[in-house]
Amino acid sequence: MWLNHMELLEGVEILIVDLDGVVWVGGRVIEANVKALSRLQERLQIYYATNNSTRSRVDYASKLRSLGLEASEERVITSGRAAALWLKRFTDARNVYVIGEEGLKWELEVEGYNIVDRGLEAGAVVVGLDRRLTYGKLVEALRAILGGAYFIGTNPDHILPEEEHVIPGAGAIIAALETASGRKPDVIVGKPNPWMVTSTLGDVDYGRVVVVGDRVDTDVELALRIGAKSILTLTGVTRSLDGEAYRRLKEAGVVVVKDLEELLPTA
Amino acid sequence: MWLNHMELLEGVEILIVDLDGVVWVGGRVIEANVKALSRLQERLQIYYATNNSTRSRVDYASKLRSLGLEASEERVITSGRAAALWLKRFTDARNVYVIGEEGLKWELEVEGYNIVDRGLEAGAVVVGLDRRLTYGKLVEALRAILGGAYFIGTNPDHILPEEEHVIPGAGAIIAALETASGRKPDVIVGKPNPWMVTSTLGDVDYGRVVVVGDRVDTDVELALRIGAKSILTLTGVTRSLDGEAYRRLKEAGVVVVKDLEELLPTA
């Protein structure tokens, strides 16, 4: 029914693999995918790219290594990292008001940004998932945005899957500030924004890249935008597809797998 | 330039007067408007209608009386009151998850609703301005909405004016939940929804009603929808209008005043 999966990986040099919904869901590791990745890493360069900004690259690399996956800090891309690189490349802001968690703050600080407590002191506002969001943080961020600060969203995800249910994503918090301020973010750096990948990988041949993820609107869309191939694994947000959705993905060249073990040669 | 103001009030029996931006802004009383209202109440029935759900009708009535204005609880309409009446009229929900402040909870409890702490127990979610909003409250509300509960917004206001700046309004919180859930609210009961007025005033002759407010998108729009006249006072969110905006409002029959003292006969 689909492309021959081994054929899909012919000529491929780089896999860009999503984390939530691919390597784990909430606290549960997706064993089949980890097993497949530990095989695939023997012949491919694997980067891990997550729209989740709550942890730093260092945290994720360490977690991935604990699962037996090769992952240095340089092989992990978070939307927090992409936000720091965007600020550095496109703005002269130095003071940043952050709605987000420790990982996001770390990524900004490591690039030399000052995290400020008051919106009015900020040249930029970076908004990511913050499970300690309060009304007071929205007030400060709104003041900064209305005061003319850059308005950067880490990622557009409306929700984040947990084991039992879903929780509001960065996209929901961004929507609140967009509504209050009447201003759209200057940029949302996470997937499907190509910046998420190009800011770290630079000028590689994206025809030799495959994006692996559980979401059509972020992972598959990113692949389409950078001219890469893509694999949708039904282990996260997308658990099943109706016939029409399958047909459209197939037409777009997307390979859909139950899990990544389908990519391995059968013994 | 405008309609003769005294002529405007000929044949009028009821004024529906906004609170934030008309009677006060943040903690500051707008003296000119209070003075005018204390004169106008001698010959007109005045109702006070606020999209602000944070306090109850009892609180507002008491505050208005302390300014010398006649206001019983029956003459005050809050979006919290309108939400309770909407639930009663159109649903069989009994358990309500609330994002909102004490005034909203009071209005719901006084109509017999149980305020629950867990989204999954709720037959309805009511979302208003909550200056103690937390991420945890968004999580519970999202679970309720995704579980099929009614989703009611108190009011669409994107911001709320305070003395020095603006703060995010109920509309911003509603936007976060709308984005996360992928569901629009079943209703937003506050102005400009006619329900805000008709649920309390019932079947009066709206040709004899004037809506007084500081916002075009809520107050003036409400007047247009119920077939009432309207007065825009430049004491709140709208502080000035460009020529084009003036022209459009004039064409729509809206009277624009610096403050409500312009409505009084000159001595």
ipTM of the complex: 0.89
Residues B113 and B178 in one domain: yes
Quick one: pLDDT at residue B3?
Answer: 46
Taking the Cβ of residue A179 and every Cβ of chain B, the question of whether any pair is shorter than 8 Å is answered with yes
Q: What is the 3-state secondary structure (H, E, C) of B189-253?
A: CCCCCCHHHHHHHCCCCHHHEEEEECCHHHHHHHHHHHCCEEEEECCCCCCCCCHHHHHHHHHCC
Beta-strand relationship, B150-153 and B229-233: unpaired
**Number of helices and strands in chain A (H, E):** 10, 15
Q: How far is residue B206 CA from its own chain's centroid?
A: 18
C-alpha distance from B133 to closest chain A C-alpha (Å): 5
Element (H, E) at A64: helix A57-66
Quick one: pLDDT at residue B204?
Answer: 96
Domain that holds residue B139: 91-188
Taking the Cβ of residue A167 and every Cβ of chain B, the question of whether any pair is shorter than 8 Å is answered with yes
Quick one: pLDDT at residue A2?
Answer: 43
pLDDT tens-digit map of B204-238: 999 999 999 999 999 999 999 999 999 999 998 78
Chain B: residue whose CA lies nearest to A129: B135
Instruction: Say whether pLDDT at A239 is over 90.
Output: no
| Count of structural domains, chain A | 2
Least confident of A4-13, B67-76, B162-171: A4-13
Taking the CA of residue A16 as centre, how many other CA atoms within 13 Å lie in the half-sphere pointing to its CB?
A: 30
User: Mean pLDDT, to the nearest integer, of A173-187?
Assistant: 98
Residues B211 and B181 in one domain: no
Amino acid symbol at A134 = T
Would residue A71 count as lying in a domain? no
Would residue A65 count as lying in a domain? no
pLDDT tens-digit map of B105-141: 999 999 999 999 999 999 999 999 999 999 999 999 9
Residues B139 and B181 in one domain: yes
Taking the Cβ of residue B158 and every Cβ of chain A, the question of whether any pair is shorter than 8 Å is answered with yes
Residue with more model confidence, A96 or B240: A96
Taking the Cβ of residue B215 and every Cβ of chain A, the question of whether any pair is shorter than 8 Å is answered with no
User: What are residue A125's phi and psi, to 5 degrees?
Assistant: -115, 125
pLDDT tens-digit map of A12-69: 999 999 999 999 988 899 999 999 999 999 999 999 999 999 999 999 999 999 999 9
Taking the Cβ of residue A43 and every Cβ of chain B, the question of whether any pair is shorter than 8 Å is answered with no
Sole residue written with tokens 């006060």: B24
Q: How far is residue A37 CA from its own chain's centroid?
A: 18
Catalytic site positions of B: 13
Would residue B62 count as lying in a domain? no
Instruction: Say whether pLDDT at A118 is over 70.
Output: yes
The answer to whether B150 and B116 are in contact (CB under 8 A) is no
Residues A138 and A116 in one domain: yes
How many Å apart are CA A39 and CA A33, to the nearest integer? 10
User: Mean pLDDT, to the nearest integer, of B235-248?
Assistant: 87
C-alpha distance from A132 to closest chain B C-alpha (Å): 6
- Annotated active-site residue A7? The verdict is no
How many Å apart are CA A114 and CA A116, to the nearest integer? 6
Would residue B75 count as lying in a domain? no
User: Mean pLDDT, to the nearest integer, of A153-180?
Assistant: 93
Residue with more model confidence, A10 or A210: A210
The answer to whether B129 and B154 are in contact (CB under 8 A) is yes
Instruction: Say whether pLDDT at A90 is over 70.
Output: yes
Task: Name which of A54, A99, A120, A135 to mutate to probe chain B: the one with the most chain B Cβ atoms within 10 A of its Cβ.
Answer: A135
pTM above 0.80, yes or no: yes
Flag if A180 and B165 touch (Cβ within 8 Å): no
Quick one: pLDDT at residue A197?
Answer: 97
DSSP result, A147-206: TT-EEEES---SEEE-SSSEEE-HHHHHHHHHHHHS---SEE-STTSTHHHHHHH-S--G
Q: Which two tokens stand for residue A112?
A: 């030399």
Domain-terminating residue out of B124, B156, B188:
B188
Quick one: pLDDT at residue B6?
Answer: 65
Q: Which two tokens stand for residue B62?
A: 């008491």
Averaged pLDDT of chain A? 94
User: Mean pLDDT, to the nearest integer, of B182-200?
Assistant: 98
Would residue A61 count as lying in a domain? no
The answer to whether B126 and B154 are in contact (CB under 8 A) is yes
Instruction: Say whether pLDDT at B1 is over 50.
Output: no
Instruction: Say whether pLDDT at B57 is over 50.
Output: yes
Quick one: pLDDT at residue A3?
Answer: 46
Q: What is the CATH number of the domain that holds A257?
A: 3.40.50.1000
Quick one: pLDDT at residue A5?
Answer: 64
Quick one: pLDDT at residue A6?
Answer: 65
